[in-house]
C-alpha cells in the first residue's frame, strides 16, 4: 500500500509540486540562514586559525575573545617557558591604534607584534614582499584586502579614485611613520578593522605606554605531551589561562554570540522559517489529506486498518519532506556557491543540513499529525453517503 500511497501523492502533480515547493522554501529559509549564521560563527575564530603555528594560546584569565586586550606581566612569558611539556613560547602583542595614511585618511587599525627572532604567529600567505622584511626598520605587513579598501589612498589631493596601498608606501601608526614591506592574505574575520603586523619590539615602541604590554603568549607543546594537560598545567602554575586553538576559538565564539545577540537574531529568522514551513506544509498536507479523505474512508471500509492508513500518510509525508528538503538544501548550496564569492559569510557545515532536516521532519510530522487525526476519526460508513 506504500506504493499506492505514493501514487496518490504523485498523481496530482500540481498539489504535489505545491507541497514540495512549500517544504523546499522552508528548508531554504532554515538552512540558508543557518549557513550564514555558521559562516559568522566560523569568522569569529578566523584569526586564531590563521595563526596556526602555536599549539596553545596563553592569556590573562579575564580575556574573553580575540580582541579583548587584558595584559600580562612580561615575566608571564618566562613562566610559560618553564612549564614542563612546553617546547617553545613566544610573545605576541595585539592592540588597536590610530593610523593615518599618506593622503590624510585616518582609520583605526589592529596592530600585531610578532616575536622579533622567530616571527612566529605571522599570517600564512604572503602575497607580495617577504615576511623576513619585517625585520627591516619601521616595517609593517598589511592585508591585501585591507589595502584595497580601508587602507586605499588617493595619489594627489582632489583625486576621486583611490589606489591600493602597496609595498614601499608609508603610513603612520600612532604618529610613527612605518613602511609597508609586504602584503598578506588572511581569512575574512568577524571583526573588520585592518590588521597590521610588525615585530613585538617595534609594536611596543609605537604603542601608547602601558604598565603591562604583553597580551598573548603562543606556545608549542613538546611531542608526546597532551595539549590539554599542558594547557591545564600552565593555567595552574602561572595563574593565567591557556587554551588549545579550538578552545580559544570556542571561548571567543561563545563570548561574541552572547554579547552581540547574533544567535538570537538568526535564531528568530530560523524559527520563522520553521513556522512558515509548518504553516505552508501543514496547510498543503492538510488539504491533501482532506482531498483524499474519501479515498481513505473507502479503503477503511474495504478493510484497511488505521495502522495501514497511518503508514500510508507517513509515507506520503516523508516522501514529500525528503524531496522538498533535498531541493531546499540544493538551493542553499547553490546560493552558497554565489555567496562564497562575495564578502558575505556562508558556511554550510554538516550540522546545518542535519538540523535543517530534523526541523523539516518535525515540521512535517506536526502537520501530518494534524491531518492524520481526521483520517483516524473517519467513519468508514461515510463512503455510503452520496
Residue among 7 and 106 whose Cβ is closer to other proteins: 7
* Torsion angle, alpha carbons of 272, 276, 278, 284, to 10: 180
Task: Name the minimum Å distance from CB 312 to other proteins.
Answer: 10
Task: Name the minimum Å distance from CB 297 to other proteins.
Answer: 8
Q: What is the CA radius of gyration of the chain?
A: 30
E strand or H helix that includes residue 284: helix 262-291
Residue among 136 and 306 whose Cβ is closer to other proteins: 306
Q: For residues 124 and 231, is the Cβ–Cβ distance under 8 A?
A: no
Residue among 93 and 319 whose Cβ is closer to other proteins: 319
Task: Name the minimum Å distance from CB 376 to other proteins.
Answer: 10
For residue 216, give the nearest of 243, 237, 196 by alpha carbon. Answer: 243
The C-alpha atoms of residue 6 and residue 266 are separated, in whole angstroms, by: 36
Residue among 179 and 323 whose Cβ is closer to other proteins: 323
Report H helices in the chain.
2-11, 13-44, 46-50, 75-81, 144-148, 200-206, 227-238, 245-260, 262-291, 293-301, 306-339, 351-377
Task: Name the minimum Å distance from CB 310 to other proteins.
Answer: 13
Residue among 19 and 59 whose Cβ is closer to other proteins: 19
Task: Name the minimum Å distance from CB 291 to other proteins.
Answer: 9
Residue among 15 and 138 whose Cβ is closer to other proteins: 15
The C-alpha atoms of residue 151 and residue 49 are separated, in whole angstroms, by: 24
Residues forming the site for other proteins (CB under 8 A): 1, 3-4, 7-8, 10-12, 292, 294-295, 297-306, 308, 379-381, 383-386
Task: Name the minimum Å distance from CB 364 to other proteins.
Answer: 20
Report H helices in 193-261.
200-206, 227-238, 245-260
The single residue listed with the C-alpha cell 589592529 is: 110
Amino acid at each position: 500500500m506504500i506504493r499506492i500511497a505514493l501514487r496518490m501523492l504523485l498523481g496530482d502533480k500540481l498539489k504535489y509540486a505545491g507541497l514540495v515547493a512549500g517544504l523546499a522554501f522552508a528548508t531554504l529559509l532554515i538552512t540558508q540562514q543557518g549557513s550564514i549564521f555558521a559562516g559568522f560563527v566560523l569568522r569569529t575564530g578566523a584569526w586564531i586559525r590563521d595563526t596556526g603555528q602555536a599549539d596553545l594560546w596563553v592569556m590573562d584569565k579575564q580575556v574573553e575573545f580575540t580582541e579583548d586586550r587584558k595584559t600580562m606581566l612580561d615575566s608571564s612569558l618566562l613562566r610559560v617557558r618553564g612549564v614542563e611539556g612546553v617546547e617553545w613560547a613566544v610573545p605576541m602583542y595585539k592592540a588597536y591604534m590610530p593610523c593615518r595614511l599618506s593622503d590624510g585618511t585616518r582609520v583605526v587599525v589592529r596592530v600585531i607584534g610578532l616575536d622579533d627572532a622567530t616571527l612566529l604567529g605571522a599570517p600564512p600567505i604572503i602575497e607580495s614582499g617577504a615576511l623576513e622584511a619585517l625585520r627591516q626598520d619601521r616595517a609593517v605587513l598589511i592585508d591585501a584586502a585591507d589595502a584595497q579598501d580601508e587602507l586605499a589612498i588617493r595619489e594627489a589631493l582632489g583625486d576621486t579614485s583611490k589606489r591600493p596601498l602597496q609595498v614601499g608606501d608609508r603610513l603612520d601608526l600612532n604618529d610613527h611613520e612605518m613602511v609597508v614591506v609586504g602584503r598578506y592574505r588572511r581569512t575574512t574575520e568577524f571583526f573588520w578593522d585592518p590588521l597590521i603586523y610588525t615585530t613585538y619590539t617595534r609594536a611596543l615602541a609605537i604603542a601608547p605606554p602601558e604598565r603591562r604590554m604583553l597580551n598573548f603568549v603562543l606556545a608549542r607543546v613538546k611531542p608526546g605531551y597532551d595539549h590539554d594537560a599542558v594547557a591545564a598545567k600552565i593555567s595552574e602554575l602561572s595563574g593565567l589561562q591557556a587554551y588549545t586553538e579550538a578552545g580559544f576559538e570556542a571561548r571567543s565564539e561563545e563570548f561574541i554570540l552572547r554579547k552581540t545577540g547574533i544567535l538570537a537574531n538568526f535564531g528568530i529568522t530560523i524559527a520563522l522559517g520553521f513556522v512558515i514551513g509548518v504553516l505552508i506544509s501543514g496547510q498543503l498536507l492538510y488539504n491533501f489529506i482532506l482531498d483524499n479523505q474519501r479515498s481513505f474512508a473507502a479503503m477503511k471500509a474495504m478493510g484497511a486498518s488505521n495502522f495501514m492508513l497511518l503508514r500510508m500518510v507517513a509515507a506520503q509525508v516523508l516522501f514529500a519532506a525528503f524531496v522538498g528538503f533535498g531541493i531546499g538544501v540544493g538551493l542553499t548550496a547553490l546560493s552558497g556557491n554565489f555567496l562564497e564569492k562575495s564578502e558575505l559569510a556562508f558556511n554550510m557545515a554538516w550540522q546545518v543540513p542535519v538540523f535543517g532536516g530534523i526541523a523539516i521532519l518535525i515540521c512535517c510530522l506536526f502537520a501530518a499529525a494534524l491531518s492524520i487525526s481526521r483520517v483516524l476519526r473517519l467513519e468508514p460508513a461515510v463512503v455510503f453517503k452520496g
